[in-house]
C-alpha cells in the first residue's frame, strides 16, 4: 500500500472529490481525518472544520498534535464557486469566496506546519483549477481565487521545500461533482436555458477525450502526489482536464 502508516488531513473531506480522496487514502493504508462542515457519513474519522475560523483551526491542530506525533499529508480541497461576472458579484460574495478558497488554505497550512515538519517527508496538495489558467465565462471571482492558489502553492513550495515539505497543486477541469451539477443547473455560464442533459453532453463533446472527469480520477493523482513515489515533485500545478486546456479554441457553454 502506497500510504501505509501515513497520517492525512483532508479539508473538504466529505465533498465529492474530498470523499474520493479520503476513500483512496484509506485503501492505501493511511489514517485519514476528513475535515469539513458536515459529516455525510462516509468517513471513518470526521472532524468538524471551518476553514474560515482561525481559532477553530488552531484548536484542531492542537488536538491533532495530542493524538499524533506528526502529519504526513495535508490536502486543501475545501472550496466554493460563485457563478457571476464581476459586475454582478457583491463585495460580500467576493470576500466569502476568497475567505474559503484562499485564506482558508493559508490558515490551514499555516497551523499545520509544525506537525508537517515532524514528518520524514510531508506532502501538501492544494486545489487550484484549470480556471486559474484560462477562464470560463461567469466565474470571475472563482477564477481569481484559483489564480491566487496557484501563486501561493509555488511560494509555499519554495519556502518549505528546504524543510522536507513538498507542496503541489491539483488543477482539475470539469469533474462530475455536486459543484458541477450546480453549474449545469445555474443561470450563469452553465445554465442559460439548456437542459442538464444537453449541457452535460456539450461539456463532454468539447473535451478531446469526449468525457469529463470523475472524483476518482482526481483522487488517483492526489494519491500519487501524497506518496513517496512523488518525492521529487514539488512546486508544480498539475492540470488534469481530459486535454481541455490543450486546445486552441473551446466551446462557449
Tell me the sheet residues that pair with 76.
11, 126
Could you tell me if 213 and 240 are in contact, meaning their C-beta atoms sit under 8 angstroms apart?
yes
Could you tell me if 49 and 245 are in contact, meaning their C-beta atoms sit under 8 angstroms apart?
no
3-state secondary structure of 211: coil
Catalytic residue numbers? 142
CA pair distance 249, 147, nearest whole angstrom: 21
Task: Name the grid cell of 160.
Answer: 518549505
Task: Name the grid cell of 139.
Answer: 466565474
Task: Name the grid cell of 102.
Answer: 484562499
CA pair distance 230, 242, nearest whole angstrom: 21
Complete DSSP assignment for 56-110: HHHHHHHHHHHH-S---EEEE---------TTT--HHHHHHHHIIIIIHHHHHHH
Residue located via cell numbers 502526489: 225
Could you tell me if 31 and 50 are in contact, meaning their C-beta atoms sit under 8 angstroms apart?
no
Count of other CB atoms within 10 angstroms of residue 251: 11
**Considering just the CA atoms, what is the radius of gyration of the chain in Å?**
18
Amino acid at each position: 500500500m502506497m500510504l501505509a502508516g501515513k497520517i492525512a488531513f483532508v479539508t473538504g473531506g466529505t465533498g465529492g472529490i474530498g470523499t474520493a480522496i479520503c476513500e483512496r487514502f484509506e485503501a492505501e493504508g493511511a489514517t485519514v481525518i476528513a475535515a469539513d462542515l458536515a459529516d455525510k457519513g462516509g468517513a471513518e474519522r470526521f472532524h468538524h472544520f471551518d476553514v474560515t475560523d482561525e481559532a477553530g483551526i488552531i484548536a484542531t491542530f492542537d488536538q491533532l498534535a495530542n493524538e499524533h506525533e506528526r502529519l504526513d499529508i495535508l490536502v486543501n480541497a475545501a472550496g466554493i464557486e460563485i457563478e457571476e461576472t464581476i459586475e454582478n458579484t457583491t463585495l460580500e460574495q467576493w470576500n466569502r469566496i476568497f475567505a474559503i478558497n484562499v485564506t482558508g488554505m493559508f490558515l490551514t497550512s499555516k497551523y499545520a506546519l509544525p506537525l508537517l515538519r515532524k514528518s520524514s517527508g510531508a506532502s501538501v496538495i492544494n486545489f487550484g483549477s484549470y480556471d486559474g489558467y484560462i477562464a470560463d465565462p461567469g466565474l470571475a471571482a472563482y477564477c481569481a481565487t484559483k489564480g491566487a492558489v496557484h501563486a501561493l502553492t509555488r511560494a509555499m513550495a519554495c519556502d518549505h521545500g528546504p524543510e522536507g515539505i513538498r507542496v503541489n497543486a491539483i488543477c482539475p477541469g470539469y469533474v462530475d461533482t455536486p459543484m458541477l451539477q450546480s453549474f449545469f443547473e445555474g443561470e450563469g455560464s452553465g445554465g442559460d436555458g439548456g437542459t442538464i442533459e444537453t449541457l452535460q453532453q456539450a461539456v463532454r463533446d468539447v473535451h478531446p477525450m469526449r468525457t469529463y472527469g470523475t472524483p476518482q480520477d482526481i483522487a488517483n493523482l492526489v494519491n500519487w502526489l501524497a506518496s513517496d513515489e512523488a518525492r521529487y515533485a514539488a512546486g508544480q500545478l498539475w492540470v488534469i482536464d481530459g486535454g481541455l486546456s490543450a486546445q486552441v479554441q473551446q466551446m462557449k457553454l
